[in-house]
Amino acid sequence: MLLTFSLVACKDKATVKEDEKDGKTTIRVVYKDEGPSNPVAQAYFSNLEKALKEDEKIDVKFELVEVPQGNYAEKLNLMLFSGDIPDMIYFQGGDQQIAEQDLLEDLTPYIEKSKHIKNILQPYNEKRLNNYPYLLWIKPLDSKTPVVRGDWFNQLSSSKELMENPTIDNYYKFFKELVASAPGGGKPANAVTVAGDITELDFIFEMAFGINQTWLKKEDGTYEYSKASNKEKEKLTFYNKLYNEGLLDPQYLTKQWDTKEKAFYDGETGVIVGTSGKVIDIYNGKMTQVNGEEAELVVLPPAKGESQGFAPTDITKEPRGIAISSQSKHKETVFQILDYLASPKGQMLDRLGFEKEHYNITDGQIELTQKYYNEWYAKFFEPSDFETEKPLKTPLLSEPAMKSQELAKEYYAEDNSFIIPEEYVSKWDAMENLYKEYATDIITGKRPVDDFEKFVKEWNAAGGEELTKYANENIK
């Protein structure tokens, strides 16, 4: 009750903002890393203003809202709960509690009458929107794929066997040789690093251990939570082996995305994991810029065992995306902007960046610059079919990036996870933190592997037994 009251009491703060500037409608936007202190973001939204006016006669002024440094989801929610609610909001977690306060607009009727968005939705987008109609995120499958620099890969005798038969054992052999042979002239110090937890490592190995869904079906037909299963114990035992032998970066817990990437470009680690498509493209551009064309990335397959894949795809909801505030006076205009960004003209800006910076028109063709490959990414949408106004002289994605997308599609599988009911959310958060604590301690050797049985007991006592019952009653 107190939370609801605080939101209502502060709601006027969101409407006090000026709606008109110089005769233009002001659209307030909050978007991680795309705030007013980012000159590229300022240029992007300035160009978008011009394009909207020229192509659609939509006259707006974007006001970018800065979010304080720190955990984006937490800082954003603090801002929203204070009553400062921009028109267009990018979420990267934390959106459910905002939606539960009826502060996010149901996008279903807007999409149904859209000109462009309804035509570029993928089947998994449609399923997610049917389950949770508040976030829009039209991107290729967001599976993460492992990569290694090509010059090192080509020096290793275990590379061929890994590609032909990527078993857990062959991955282990590859990691061992990667460190032992020191193809970097005394480096790398470790075979693989990840950003802060084992999530990225799971994209390589989890399905090989038979963890192919969040809720695993047992022989008796009932379901158990994958992280409390014997298969999880086997996976953590393997990760502990990688850690003990120095193959998994001993500093992985303190790595952030930027320090992880720097270690990769500097040759301090052999393999990192990145989102298929554009992120792999950026990794490849930076790697070849630092270490030469021969270092072009090689995309590695997911490990093969009981199952094979990078990760099952969650279709309960979009894990991140763009929302429209239900408190906004300009909901229709905000959606018109989003629909324009899904159009061929809107995609020219969103996908290609700025002319004479990220691309040039040469002999009637679009020639992408190195800066495009090194840094540009679509701020909003990346539909699978995108035809440019002029022919492309150079491809949108490098070969490794395209390969990563192909593999993501090849190994697509749907998860059976579900949105955690509100009455279980606080328990679920505590249960997940309990898992992270035990998993970290087991991997790093602070606890013996057999302590996994203690974790399962504590997890069940903390709410796992109730939630497992709920899962068995509701998974179809």
Residues 6+ apart with CB under 8 A from 11: 83, 85, 327
Give the confidence band of 20 by pLDDT, cuts at 50, 70, 90. Answer: low
User: With helix as H, strand as E and coil as C, how does the chain read?
Assistant: CHHHHHHHHHCHHHHCCCCEECCEEEEEEECCCCCCCCHHHHHHHHHHHHHHHHHHCCCEEEEEECCCCCCHHHHHHHHHHCCCCCCEEEECCCHHHHHCCCCECCCHHHHHCCCCHHHHCCHHHHHHHHHCCCCECCCCCCCEEEEEEHHHHCCCCCHHHHHHCCEHHHHHHHHHHHHHCCCCCCCCCEEECCCCCCHHHHHHHHHHHCCCCCEEECCCCCEEEHHHCHHHHHHHHHHHHHHHCCCECCCHHHCCHHHHHHHHHCCCEEEEEEECCHHHHHHHHHHHHHHCHHHCEEECCCCECCCECCCCECCCCCCCEEEEECCCCCHHHHHHHHHHHCCHHHHHHHHHCCECCCEEEECCEEEECHHHHHHCCCCCCCCCCCCCCCCECCCCCCHHHHHHHHHHHHCCCECCCCCCCHHHHHHHHHHHHHHHHHHHHHHCCCCCHHHHHHHHHHHHHHHHHHHHHHHHHHCC
Distance between CA atoms of 73 and 280, rounded to whole angstroms?
A: 24
Instruction: Determine what percent of the chain is predicted with pLDDT higher than 70.
Output: 95
In the predicted structure, residue 9 carries a pLDDT above the cut 50: no
Per-residue confidence band for 14, with pLDDT thresholds at 50, 70 and 90: very low
Is pLDDT of 230 > 70? yes
pTM higher than the cut 0.85:
no
Distance separating alpha carbons of residues 348 and 444, to the nearest angstrom: 47
CA-wise closest residue to 287 among 421, 184, 437: 184
pLDDT in tens, 451-471: 999 999 999 999 999 999 999
Q: Binning pLDDT at 50, 70 and 90, where does residue 17 land?
A: very low
Q: Evaluate if residue 11 carries a pLDDT over 90.
A: no
Mean pLDDT of all residues in 345-354? 94
More confident residue, 39 or 11: 39
In order of 212, 286, 301, the CA distances from 149 in angstroms are 28, 11, 14
Tokens of 389: 């106004």
β-sheet bridge partners, residue 64: 29
The pLDDT value recorded for residue 10 is 40
Mean pLDDT of 290-315: 95
User: Is pLDDT above 90 for 223?
Assistant: yes
- Report residue 111 as tokens: 């999409």
**pLDDT over threshold 50, residue 12:** no
pLDDT per residue as tens digits for the range 167-217:
999 999 999 999 998 776 667 899 999 999 999 999 999 999 999 999 999
Cis peptide before 188 (omega within 30 of 0): yes
Q: Is 73 exposed, middle or buried (0-12, 13-18, 19+ CB in 10 A)?
A: middle
pLDDT at 456: 98
136-163: buried (b, 16+ CB within 10 Å) or exposed (e) per residue? Answer: bbbbbbbbbbbbbbbbbbeebebbeebe
Q: Could you tell me which residues are beta bridge partners of residue 313?
A: 414
- Percentage of the chain modeled with pLDDT above 90: 83
Q: Which residue has the higher pLDDT, 52 or 370?
A: 52
Q: Which residue has the higher pLDDT, 5 or 266?
A: 266
Picking from 68-72, 140-144, 270-274, 464-468, which range would have the lowest pLDDT averaged per residue?
A: 140-144
**Domains in the chain with CATH codes:** 2-140+317-388 (3.40.190.10), 144-312 (3.40.190.10)
Confidence band for 389, pLDDT divided at 50, 70 and 90: confident
Question: Per-residue confidence at 150, pLDDT binned at 50, 70, 90?
Answer: very high
For residue 106, name the pLDDT band (cuts at 50, 70, 90).
very high
Residue 18 clears pLDDT 80, i.e. is over it = no
Q: Considering only 41-55, 143-157, 256-270, 415-429, which range has the smallest mean pLDDT?
A: 415-429
* Chain mean pLDDT for the chain: 92
- For residue 337 the two structure tokens come to 């902007």
Q: How confident is the model at residue 309 (pLDDT cuts 50, 70, 90)?
A: very high
Q: Please tell me the least confidently modeled range out of 182-191, 375-384, 418-427, 459-468.
A: 182-191
Distance CA 402, CA 17 (A): 44
Distances (CA, A) of 212 to 83, 167, 279, 476: 41, 16, 24, 16
What number of residues does the chain have? 476
Res. 21 pLDDT band, cuts 50 70 90:
low
pLDDT tens by residue, 240-251? 999 999 999 999
Q: What is the pLDDT at residue 183?
A: 79
Calculate mean pLDDT across residues 37-65: 96
